[in-house]
């Protein structure tokens, strides 16, 4: 029964965006070694998100990324050459998996212990959701395989730190720092450009069941960094959860942000009385970029700015072009917008970050 529950939770939390199940994963100590001056020096000893001390004896030559988001982190810093096993499915289709072993089951997200053990990697990089799958972790431990479990990202700082830890774990510290610098530079441009803007009230419509995010989530910071006031946070919601449509209507958001897996906000019918719906103030963001705690959160922010503040975005785009970097593109065609992720230092191939953290309420939409 425990194994069935663990697998179910993994499925729920891996298929798309945000959710209460993820919040449960934060109970593990937030203790991974995530220092701003992290160096790739071995032996490397760290305390990961399980609270266990982990030692990597020498720079890894072979890495397995346990979940789709872990693969994206490795690729984002230039460590894809060391990845021998990863989820190979629709959730990583924007990565060049090549001949890497698919370590998942038929669903493309659930890790199969036997596949990982057969690869005998030097290290396994695992998102925090792995703490729900104790049987898998025990099997890998019994096989003598080193596993590093990342902390749950509840802020943009946490996103940066997980990039940094991925660099330590894979031996790509320089690539990780370059990627973090790239993120910081872009975010500083956005912040400066939005300094005098009004920050209208906005609701993130993550699903028909009212799935959304409040404070202590990196998605909250995505919205506020993009110059919005997060409705869920303004009414006191913390973490990933659900909100009654009546509350949203009463608060009357000026904008609605929603994942681009649907053609319109999932709760549009229930929210038709809001200013956002009546005036057509809706923004579709790349579901993967909004849900995956990795470098592509930058593009989710940029998409929101482009739609809410078009004049500001024109200035941002001009500044990016002057610095030799592409902008986010135009319109809401996020697949094309995100296609040039080679702009992120460390990306060996163009990729778009694929969703990892998810909500239980979103499972039905994917299946």
Distance CA 203, CA 215 (A): 13
Higher pLDDT pick, 357 / 140: 140
Return the bridge partners of 283, or none: 257
Return the bridge partners of 64, or none: 85, 124
Higher pLDDT pick, 293 / 33: 293
Distance CA 106, CA 13 (A): 16
Average pLDDT over residues 5-16: 36
pLDDT surpassing 90 at residue 339: no
- Name the band, by pLDDT with cuts 50, 70 and 90, for residue 343: low
In tens, the pLDDT along 111-166 reads: 999 999 999 999 999 999 899 999 999 999 999 999 999 999 899 999 999 999 99
- Name the band, by pLDDT with cuts 50, 70 and 90, for residue 39: confident
In tens, the pLDDT along 266-308 reads: 999 999 999 999 999 999 998 878 887 888 899 999 999 999 9
In tens, the pLDDT along 315-333 reads: 999 988 887 776 664 333 4
**Tokens 């996103």 found at:** 159
- Name the band, by pLDDT with cuts 50, 70 and 90, for residue 173: very high
**What is the pLDDT, as a whole number, of residue 291?**
82
pLDDT surpassing 70 at residue 338: no
- Mean pLDDT score across all residues of the chain: 82
**What is the pLDDT, as a whole number, of residue 23?**
35
**What is the pLDDT, as a whole number, of residue 289?**
84
Exposure pattern of 55-92 as b/e (b: 16+ CB <10 Å)? ebeeebeebbbbbbbbbbbbbbbbbbebbbbbbbbebb
Worst-scoring range by mean pLDDT, 1-5, 113-117, 174-178, 180-184? 1-5
Structure tokens at 88: 């190979």
Q: Could you say which DSSP state residue 269 is in?
A: T
**What is the pLDDT, as a whole number, of residue 19?**
35
Average pLDDT over residues 306-316: 96
Task: Please give the share of the chain, as a percent, with pLDDT higher than 70.
Answer: 78
Average pLDDT over residues 221-240: 97
Residues 6+ apart with CB under 8 A from 65: 71, 73, 74, 83, 85, 86, 87, 124, 125
Higher pLDDT pick, 67 / 337: 67
Structure tokens at 305: 């700015």
Q: Could you say which DSSP state residue 54 is in?
A: E
**What is the pLDDT, as a whole number, of residue 304?**
98
Neighbours of 246 (CB within 10 A): 11
Domains and CATH numbers, the chain: 2-181+357-366 (3.40.50.1980), 183-333 (3.40.50.1980)
Which of 166, 179, 159, 181 lies closest to 40 in space, CA to CA?
166
pLDDT surpassing 70 at residue 341: no
């Amino acid at each position: 029964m425990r194994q069935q529950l663990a697998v179910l939770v993994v499925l729920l939390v891996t298929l798309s965006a945000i959710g209460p199940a993820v919040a449960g994963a934060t109970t593990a100590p937030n203790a991974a070694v995530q220092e701003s001056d992290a160096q790739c020096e071995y032996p490397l000893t760290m305390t990961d998100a399980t609270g266990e001390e982990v030692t990597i004896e020498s720079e890894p030559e072979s890495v397995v990324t346990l979940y789709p988001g872990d693969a994206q982190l490795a690729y984002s810093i230039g460590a894809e050459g060391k990845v021998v096993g990863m989820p190979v499915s629709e959730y990583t289709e924007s990565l060049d998996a090549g001949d890497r072993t698919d370590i998942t089951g038929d669903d493309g997200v659930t890790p199969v212990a036997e596949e990982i053990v057969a690869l005998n990697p030097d290290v396994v990089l695992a998102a925090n959701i792995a703490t729900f799958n104790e049987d898998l972790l025990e099997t890998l431990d019994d096989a003598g395989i080193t596993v590093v479990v990342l902390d749950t990202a509840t802020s943009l700082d946490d996103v940066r730190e997980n990039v940094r830890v991925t660099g330590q774990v894979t031996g790509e510290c320089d690539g990780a720092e370059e990627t973090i610098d790239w993120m910081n530079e872009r975010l500083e441009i956005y912040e400066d450009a939005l300094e005098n803007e009004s920050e209208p009230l906005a609701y993130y419509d993550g699903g028909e069941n009212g799935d959304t995010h409040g404070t202590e989530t990196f998605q909250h910071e995505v919205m506020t960094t993009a110059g919005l006031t997060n409705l869920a946070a303004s009414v006191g919601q913390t973490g990933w959860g659900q909100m009654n449509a009546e509350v949203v209507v009463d608060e009357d958001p000026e904008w609605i942000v929603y994942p681009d897996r649907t053609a319109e906000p999932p709760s549009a019918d229930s929210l038709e009385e809001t200013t956002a719906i009546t005036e057509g103030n809706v923004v579709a963001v790349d579901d993967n970029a909004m849900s995956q705690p990795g470098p592509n959160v930058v593009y989710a922010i940029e998409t929101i700015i482009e739609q809410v503040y078009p004049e500001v975005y024109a200035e941002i785009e001009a500044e990016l072009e002057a610095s030799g970097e592409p902008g986010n593109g135009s319109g809401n065609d996020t697949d094309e917008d995100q296609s040039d992720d080679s702009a992120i230092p460390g990306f060996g191939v163009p990729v778009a970050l694929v969703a990892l953290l998810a909500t239980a309420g979103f499972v039905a939409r994917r299946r």
